[in-house]
Amino acid sequence: MSGIVVGAAGIGVLLVLLAFRIPIGFALGGVAVGGILILRGPEAAFGVLTTQPYSFIAHWTLSAVPMFLLMGSIAYHAGLTKSLYQAARLWLSWMPGGLAVASTAASAGFAAASGSSVATASAMGRIAIPEMLRYRYDPGLATGSVAAAGTLGSLIPPSILMVIYAIFAEVSVSKALMAGILPGLLSAVMFALMIVIRCSINPKLGPRVEETVTWGERFTVLRDVWPLPALILGVVGGIYSGAFTATEAAAGGAFLAFVIAAFQRRLTWPVIKASVIDSLHGTAAIFLIAVGGVLLSRFMAFSGLPTFMGEWIGQFTVHPVLLIIVISVIFIFLGCFLDSIGLMLLTIPILLPMLDTVGADLIWFGVLVIKYLEIGLVTPPVGMNVYVIKAVVGNTVSLERIFRGISWFVLTDIITLALLITFPAISLFIPSLMD
């Protein structure tokens, strides 16, 4: 049996295991070790199993993951984001659908501090959705805006997914993180624009808030939200200026979050305990899946399947954009069924050699991958962010209503994705300034 056949069979077995809800980390690792056992024998399989997990986990750059998670946990548990929605509300509520636009803006800000889509959707859902429902917003728009904007945590730095992608793709982690800034802001603006247009056409979707807000109140509330911009600028500015590597910036961000929380007298023992426990749980879950992805990458290398597929595609001289469009369809389809990290680590060992064949920029492709994963977070039947919002609203809004509301945001995301594919400079402009 040839290596290519074994590799293809391994992918098939993996998809079956995932269909039966086998944990993604165990499915990836089990198929990989089994495939290597068939191709190279028990000694090779045992050697890979005993050396590769440690080699990966000991990767210095990967220490950015627990540090970014800790930074976001401290910001959340210490309440550094509490005034974020109120500030956005006072500045943006006058617009058509202003509360939904404010939810999008606040979610983007929270995402930049936490790096977690699920945490963003959960935190903002508790604050923003009841407010919108109180003003008789369409329930689909109210829930959909928070679920969709929560996905921005996957793209706006610090992005845990982008760090993992950069390590696997062997590209600069700092440049990959910076590449997400403009696409993340573009996504937020596109969401807001769609909300304003829909609510202008049909004001019943998002009635205007009839209240008088003075400029003094708008500027006063900004004093309460300064910790979050300070935290974001400290991390992003350090990486962009070259003063810190991504790993150093992550550690510095966690330390800065501690300092800000202590300065505001919010750094209590329960806050520290909850933040550390959340970070440990998140790191363990991510690393388990990532180790499975590392083993799968080695299995794919032994099988020769990615090289074969790359050469096969090269025979047809496929244009990079055409290949990206095909990959987009595959990602969006699989994103309906697989979790974000698992999907990324399942596909990139196969896709990266193919992209090398057509000369695609891997940092640009990394932004597209994260965008695919964002769409997967809100598409049925998995749609993790949608279920997070459902848990927040309980029986107030049906799951069907939330998914109907999110459909407009998915359409907007696809338009944004088309812009990112057509104009790679959106993703590559900031990284190009770092050369």
Mean pLDDT of the region 207-226:
75
Cβ atoms of 169 and 348 within 8 Å: the answer is: yes
Per-residue model confidence (pLDDT) at position 337? 66
Most confident of 151-160, 210-219, 401-410: 401-410
In angstroms, rounded to a whole number, what is the distance separating the alpha carbons of residues 434 and 178?
9
In angstroms, rounded to a whole number, what is the distance separating the alpha carbons of residues 265 and 276?
18
In angstroms, rounded to a whole number, what is the distance separating the alpha carbons of residues 416 and 189?
10
Per-residue model confidence (pLDDT) at position 314? 58
Contacts of residue 39, Cβ cutoff 8 Å, sequence gap at least 6: 3, 6, 299, 302, 303
Per-residue model confidence (pLDDT) at position 412? 94
What DSSP string runs through 60-110? Answer: GGGGHHHHHHHHHHHHHHTTTTTTHHHHHHHHHTTSTTHHHHHHHHHHHHH
Confidence of residue 136 (pLDDT cuts 50, 70, 90): confident
pLDDT at 365 over 80: yes
In angstroms, rounded to a whole number, what is the distance separating the alpha carbons of residues 345 and 113?
24
Output the pTM of the full model.
0.79
In angstroms, rounded to a whole number, what is the distance separating the alpha carbons of residues 102 and 43?
58
Per-residue model confidence (pLDDT) at position 70? 84
Per-residue model confidence (pLDDT) at position 318? 60
Contacts of residue 382, Cβ cutoff 8 Å, sequence gap at least 6: 335, 336, 337, 338, 339, 376
User: What residue type is 340 in one-letter code?
Assistant: S
pLDDT at 221 over 80: no
Angle, to 10 degrees, between the axis of helix 384-393 and the axis of helix 117-134?
40
In angstroms, rounded to a whole number, what is the distance separating the alpha carbons of residues 170 and 46?
25
Most confident of 1-5, 89-93, 166-170, 174-178: 174-178
pLDDT at 435 over 70: no
| Beta carbons within 10 angstroms of residue 324's beta carbon | 20
- Side-chain-facing half-sphere of 234: CA atoms under 13 Å: 21
Phi-psi region of 418 (alpha: psi -120 to 50; beta: other; left: phi over 0): alpha
Confidence of residue 323 (pLDDT cuts 50, 70, 90): confident
Confidence of residue 115 (pLDDT cuts 50, 70, 90): low
Cβ atoms of 198 and 88 within 8 Å: the answer is: no
Per-residue model confidence (pLDDT) at position 418? 92
pLDDT at 415 over 90: yes
Structure tokens of 405?
């509301």
Confidence of residue 114 (pLDDT cuts 50, 70, 90): low
